[in-house]
C-alpha cells in the first residue's frame, strides 16, 4: 500500500495519491466491505446490520431517560424523498 503514495520515480504515480492522503485512506478503508449480490426475490434491508444496536439503545433510552413533560415519540420515521 505504501507504493501508492511513493514519490520515488521507480514507482508509477497513482491517481489516488493526488486526491487523498495515505492516513485518511487507511481510515476509510476500514469501512469498505464488499459482499456478494443478494439472491433474486430477497430485499435488501438497510438497518439489518445495526438492528441489535438499535434494539439495545431503545431499551436503554426507555430505562434511563424520563421526559419532564408529556412527550410523544413516534416509532416509525419515514425518510424524506422529495
**pLDDT tens, 21-52?**
888 888 888 877 777 777 888 877 777 778 88
Q: In the predicted model, what is the mean pLDDT of the chain?
A: 77
C-beta separation of 16 from 4 below 8 A: yes
What is the rounded distance in angstroms from the CA atom of residue 7 to the CA atom of residue 16? Answer: 13
Write down the pLDDT at residue 26.
84
- 73 band by pLDDT with thresholds 50, 70 and 90: low
Amino acid at each position: 500500500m505504501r507504493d501508492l503514495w511513493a514519490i520515488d520515480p521507480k514507482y508509477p504515480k497513482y491517481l489516488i495519491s493526488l486526491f487523498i492522503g495515505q492516513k485518511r485512506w487507511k481510515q476509510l478503508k476500514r469501512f469498505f466491505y464488499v459482499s456478494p449480490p443478494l439472491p433474486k426475490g430477497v430485499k435488501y434491508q438497510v438497518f439489518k446490520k445495526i438492528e441489535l444496536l438499535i434494539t439495545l439503545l431503545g431499551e436503554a433510552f426507555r430505562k434511563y431517560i424520563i421526559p419532564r413533560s408529556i412527550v410523544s415519540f413516534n416509532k416509525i420515521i419515514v425518510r424524506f424523498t422529495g
